[in-house]
Structure 1
Amino acid sequence: MRKRTGDRDSKKQKTAGDEAGVSSSTQPRPSSRLLWWVKRGLLVVCVIYVSVPFMMRLFPDIIKHLVYSHRVRVPFFVNLSQPADLYLNHTVNMYLKSEQGISLGVWHTVPESQWKEAQGKDLEWYQDSLGAGIPIIIYLHGNGGTRAASHRVGLIRVLSAIGYHVLALDYRGFGDSTGEPTEVGLTTDALYLYQWVKARSGSSLVVLWGHSLGTGVATNTAVKLIEQGIVVDGVIIEGAYTNIRQGGAHHPFGWFYWTFPGFEYFFLDTMGENNIIFPNDENLKRMRSRLLILHAEDDHIVPIHMAQQLYEIAQSAQNSENQVKMIPFAGSLGYHHNGLYKDPHLPDIIREFVHTLAP
């Protein structure tokens, strides 16, 4: 009896062991699960990659948001109506109406030498100060963010320290300005601000300074003024592209799609069909203002060869070396697309340029 009982016990143990072995062998290995997730992830990436170009064609507003990036309102948690929070304590915030239903947020910063006098002064005092014969810079920023972006505030401080008035606006749809951006709309906003300044500045020099996307706004504005018989005193373009089509082809976003079949049709043609052109190259053929081109050799957004092309176009159009100047900044300085304001020689470069504008 004992022997039979032992046999039964050993059989039970063997059966249990066999079942355990079968159970463990049917469970998926961790490496198999990881491979499954990797495959799924790659599939999702491929679907998104292929879908984006078609989405551009089906929903043109997407390309508008990519070009302007006006919904990216960085820095966050900044009250644009309080520039003193950013240590611009000789700056007034105001809102101008460029068109029916369009309100533009604008900062007016007086020369740093007047910061004590500016304390507690109202909007009327700031406006009256424009007619004192001091040069005025109208700053037209690039895409994305607001006038409070660190590199924009940095440039405002530099220009104010030199001794200039600076007016920086957020175009329609940007920052605390109302409306939606279009190329015509941005140009209208800049043109309105220029005319607003000229109505109060007397004989003071007025210079348009465009950065990145804003270079197209600046040259568009200068050409519109030429059509009215007005030549802007001076134009400075920083990080400028030849036109938005070529600029888009070299933008880092475009790197992912250079080899995609129909890249031009899906992306570049879509911009043109939505009236996003910003033709700096064509504008420079018509401009007669003195021009200063600033560009970093290590600009990863807009390659410097575009600035060189613009320089050659402007020189040919104006047939004068004195009217057009280009200053490249060595790549070893690490300024890239937004950092030229850090250069210690920039104030002298700007002073020299503005000095040549004096009648």
Structure 2
Amino acid sequence: MRRRGERGGGDGDNGRTGGRVRPARQQRSWLSWCPRLRTLLVDLLLIYLSVPFLIRLFPVLLTKFVFLNFLSFPYFVDLRRPELLLNNTVSLYLDTEPGVTVGIWHTVPGSRGAEAQGKDQRWYEEALGDAHPVIIYLHGNGGSRAASHRVQFLKTMGAADFHVLALDYRGYGDSSGHPTESGFTTDVLALYDWAKARSGNSSILFWGHSLGTGIATNAARKLQEERGVQVDAVVLESPYTNIRDAAANIPLTKIYRQFPGFEYLILDSLALGNMFFRSDENVKVLTCPLLILHAEDDAVLPPHLGHKLFEVAHSAYKDKSKVKFINFPKKLGLGHDYISFNPELPALVKDFLNMK
């Protein structure tokens, strides 16, 4: 029995004692983290503030962000063996200028798939003259020709009876050299010459995706202005007007758009790095059929850039029927990379090109 005034067992006391001690421990723990957290926040702020100035001082840093060629995904893929990912495909290598060799995958039309089994590169080269149209596919930044959405493109358009030559520009994949805008044009025109020498009267198209759309219009314009030769068509998938507009709209630069001097420090530095990709100027010169494809839910390059490019081209072209814009509704979920997953794509392209 307890006597009057005697307190109960120690549990209550320990609980109250524990209640007094526990917040003190929590407080000490929080205080110990404060200097670390403060240091981390200061470091992040310094990085945030220094990046624009470093880019202005060293524009070559910006080329790394634009080209992303150091991201060679998918990793551990043997680019010399496309048959591990694709049917009816062979890998070849082309010297585009002294010291530069680029890797290419050639997918033959699906209707020749059975015939292609076990054939060597020579057979594939001769197959280019079979009257099926030839697509020179110019991919976007980052990765190699083995990226999943690029493999899907080869499957889709190969099955639709196109030859597809998928190029890894200099500095990408297993291609040698270092990426530059002018170098990309050299690579594309070298591949065009190689294909033209083997394709007879077959149509040749430049098909650019994302960054590759600027490369496609650069090559088409140079071909037309310097050689008087017109590529048979240009298809631009998820395009932009020029690299400055693209940089001002991509998600990566969102945190800097309100930064004082954003245009001077970052956007103007693109020109210092010799990066322009002026598709909006190029389409004013082109006269070949031009097809622009853009998805409403493109979160990388907003569709208004594709619309703007179409408006520039449509105003410049004398024959308005040669320019077309195809919008892919948001409900399809195609985004920036997956227009080639739309089963209707080949029919849309063939309809524009008046092909059966």
Say whether the fold is shared (TM-score over 0.5): yes
1:49 is matched by which residue type in structure 2? Y
Residue matched to 1:220: 218
CA distance in 2, matches of 1:253, 1:176: 27
Deviation at 1:37, TM superposition (A): 2.7
Partner AA of 2:295 in structure 1: A
Once residues 341 and 197 of structure 1 are traced to their aligned partners in structure 2, the CA distance between those partners, rounded to angstroms, is 23
Partner residue, 2:44: 45
Report the Cα distance in structure 2 between the residues aligned to 1:207 and 1:32, rounded to whole angstroms.
65
Q: Aligned equivalents of 1:269 and 1:279: distance in 2?
A: 14
Q: Deviations over 1:132-169 (max 9, x none)?
A: 11111110001000000000000110000101100001
> Which residue of structure 2 aligns with residue 310 of structure 1?
309
Over the matched positions of the two proteins, sequence identity in percent amounts to 49
Match of 1:128 in 2: 126
Q: What secondary structure is seen at the aligned counterpart in 1 of 2:74?
A: coil
Aligned partner of 2:290 in structure 1 is 291
| Alignment pair present for 1:325 and 2:324 | yes
What residue number does 2:334 align with? 335
The match for 1:278 is 277
Alpha-carbon separation, structure 2, partners of 1:258 and 1:101: 40
Structure 2 residue aligned with 1:207: 205
- Tell me whether 190-199 or 276-285 shows the greater mean CA deviation: 190-199
Deviation at 1:25, TM superposition (A): 7.5
Q: Which whole-Å deviations, capped at 9, do the CAs of 1:326-354 have from their partners, x for residues lacking one? A: 00011122111101111122121022123
SS at match of 1:293: strand
Task: Give the Cα separation in 1 of the matches to 2:353 and 2:84.
Answer: 30
TM-score by length of 1: 0.90
1:25 and 1:143 map into 2 onto residues whose CA distance is: 53
Give the residue type in structure 2 aligned to 1:166: V
The aligned runs of 1:234-245 (5 Å cut-off) are: 234-245=233-244
Q: Which runs of 5+ in 1 are unaligned?
A: 1-20
Q: 1:22-55: CA deviations, max 9, x gaps?
A: xx97996112223333222211110110111111
- After the TM superposition, which segments of 4 or more aligned residues of structure 1 sit over 6 Å from their partners? 24-28
Q: Which amino acid aligns with 1:68?
A: F
User: For each residue in 1:58-104, what CA deviation from the matched residue of structure 2 results, as whole angstroms up to 9, or x when unmatched?
Assistant: 22221111110000000011000000111x12111011000000000
Tell me if the contact between 1:151 and 1:339 (Cα under 8 Å) persists in the aligned partners: yes
C-alpha displacement of 1:292: 0.5
Q: 1:190 is matched with which residue?
A: 188
Aligned amino acid, residue 223 of structure 2:
L
Aligned residues: 335
What does 1:52-91 align with in structure 2 at a 5 Å threshold? 52-86=51-85, 88-91=86-89
CA distance in 1, matches of 2:98, 2:354: 38
Give the aligned partner of residue 7 of structure 1: none
Residues 125 and 26 of structure 1, relative CA distance in 2, 3 Å threshold: closer
In the alignment, residue 254 of structure 1 is paired with which amino acid?
T
Q: Partners in 2 of 1:163 and 1:79 — Cα distance?
A: 26
Q: What secondary structure, in the 3-state scheme, does the structure 1 residue paired with 2:291 have?
A: strand
CA RMSD, Structure 1 to Structure 2 (Å): 1.8
CA contact 1:162–1:351 (8 Å) conserved in 2 = no
- Amino acid of the residue matched to residue 222 of structure 1? A
Whole-Å Cα distance in 1 between the matches of residues 353 and 95 of structure 2? 29
Q: Which runs of 5+ in 2 are unaligned?
A: 1-19
Between the aligned partners of 2:57 and 2:100, the Cα distance in structure 1 is 28
| Residue 247 in structure 1 maps to residue 246 in structure 2 | yes
3-state SS in 2 of match to 1:294: strand
Q: Which secondary structure state, in structure 1, belongs to the residue aligned with residue 207 of structure 2?
A: strand
Equivalent residue of 2:198, what SS? helix
Task: Classify the secondary structure of the residue corresponding to 2:201.
Answer: coil
Secondary structure of residue in 2 paired with 1:153: helix
**d(CA) in 1 for partners of 2:229 and 2:187?**
17
In the TM superposition, what is the alpha-carbon distance from 1:254 to its structure 2 partner?
A: 0.9
Give the corresponding residue for 2:267: 268
Any idea what SS the aligned residue of 1:242 has?
coil
CA distance in 2, matches of 1:103, 1:251: 31
- Find out whether 1:36 has 2:35 as its counterpart: yes
